């Protein structure tokens, strides 16, 4: 049997949108799909397929989708689903998942690089990870790079927080961020990070492309070794008394400004 995403209670994703997005993406294939037989029939369609800023109606039945993908379909009840996932917000659907299939970083280096990559430096909170992945996918990033150690990986919480975006954005894991950054710089990518120590406002910087954006740890920020590798360091101007931002919020602000400048140039 393939390795699970986590231990028994942590190997599940649930909710109609996330399960639908995951099965339709055909990238991270569930091992089992459990459904509330009082709410769904195996002949019911799973739901709408998210495509960009629209939804495409898919009339394929649960049974046919699972058979085509090799997913074991299991009739269940709402109470049984709640016991499996230890939560009640499953909306009648829960999928048991294998380990997340990270993309090949060496393959990335050998291909045409995207205009924007996001590098995560020690994000500990899985919900922050998922929120950053969601922002990155929505705002045009071509991939996420994260370290193998000292960093939350893609798990059930991250998948749910990403609203399914983990299925649509390549996510790479590397042994050492320093080496990965050196390799990306050798391919012509510029490196940018935000730090409160910078005197350069994000609003006054011409952002280059192709670009790697580094998002730092929730408490410590970007590590000094990675800051020293940056071509540009900026700060996000703030007018209130709060001195810092949540990592996912900061990522959203930075990504939105990068996207705004890119669209203006085009």
pTM: 0.91
**CA-derived radius of gyration, the chain:** 20
Rounded alpha-carbon distances, angstroms, from residue 253 to 129, 179, 181: 15, 27, 22
Give the pLDDT of residue 10. 72
Give the pLDDT of residue 37. 93
CATH of domain 105-263: 3.40.1280.10
β-strand 171-174 against 144-147: which pairing, if any? parallel
Phi and psi torsions of 46, nearest 5°: -70, -40
Q: Are 119 and 215 in contact (CB under 8 A)?
A: yes
Give the pLDDT of residue 52. 47
User: Do 105-263 and 12-96 have the same topology in CATH?
Assistant: no
Give the pLDDT of residue 43. 86
Give the pLDDT of residue 194. 92
Q: Are 229 and 193 in contact (CB under 8 A)?
A: no
Give the pLDDT of residue 53. 47
pLDDT in tens, 112-125: 999 999 999 999 99
Rounded alpha-carbon distances, angstroms, from residue 114 to 117, 196, 264: 7, 28, 18
State which residues of the chain have pLDDT below 70. Answer: 1, 6-9, 47-58, 264-266
Q: Are 106 and 14 in contact (CB under 8 A)?
A: no
pLDDT in tens, 7-47: 655 799 999 999 999 998 999 999 999 999 999 888 887 76
Q: How far apart are CA 168 and CA 166, in angstroms?
A: 6
Give the pLDDT of residue 148. 95
Give the pLDDT of residue 62. 87
Query: Does residue 210 have a cis peptide bond before it, meaning omega lies within 30 degrees of 0?
Result: yes
Give the pLDDT of residue 56. 53
Q: Are 105 and 177 in contact (CB under 8 A)?
A: no
For 12-96, which CATH class? alpha beta
Give the pLDDT of residue 51. 45
Q: How far apart are CA 27 and CA 93, in angstroms?
A: 19
The DSSP 8-state label assigned to residue 202 in this structure reads: G
Domain positions in the chain: 12-96, 105-263
């Amino acid at each position: 049997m393939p390795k699970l995403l986590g231990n028994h209670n942590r190997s599940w994703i649930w909710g109609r949108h996330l399960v639908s997005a995951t099965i339709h993406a055909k990238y991270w294939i569930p091992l089992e799909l459990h459904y509330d037989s009082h709410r769904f029939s195996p002949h019911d369609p799973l739901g709408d397929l998210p495509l960009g800023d629209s939804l495409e109606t898919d009339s394929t039945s649960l049974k046919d989708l699972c058979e085509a993908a090799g997913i074991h379909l299991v009739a269940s009840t709402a109470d049984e689903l709640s016991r499996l996932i230890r939560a009640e917000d499953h909306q009648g659907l829960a999928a048991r998942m294998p380990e997340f299939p990270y993309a090949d970083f060496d393959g990335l280096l050998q291909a045409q690089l995207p205009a924007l990559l996001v590098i995560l430096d020690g994000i500990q909170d899985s919900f922050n990870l998922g929120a950053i992945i969601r922002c990155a996918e929505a705002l045009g990033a071509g991939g996420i790079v994260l370290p193998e150690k000292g960093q939350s990986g893609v798990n059930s919480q991250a998948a749910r927080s990403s609203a399914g975006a983990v299925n649509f954005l390549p996510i790479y894991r590397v042994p050492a961020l320093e080496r990965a950054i050196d390799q990306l710089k050798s391919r012509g990518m510029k490196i940018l990070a935000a730090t409160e120590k910078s005197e350069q406002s994000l609003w006054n910087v011409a952002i280059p492309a192709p670009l790697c954006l580094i998002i730092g740890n929730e408490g410590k920020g970007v590590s000094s070794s990675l800051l020293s590798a940056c071509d540009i360091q900026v700060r996000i101007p703030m007018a209130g008394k709060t001195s810092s931002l949540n990592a996912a919020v900061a990522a959203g602000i930075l990504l939105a400004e990068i996207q705004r400048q890119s669209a203006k140039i085009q």
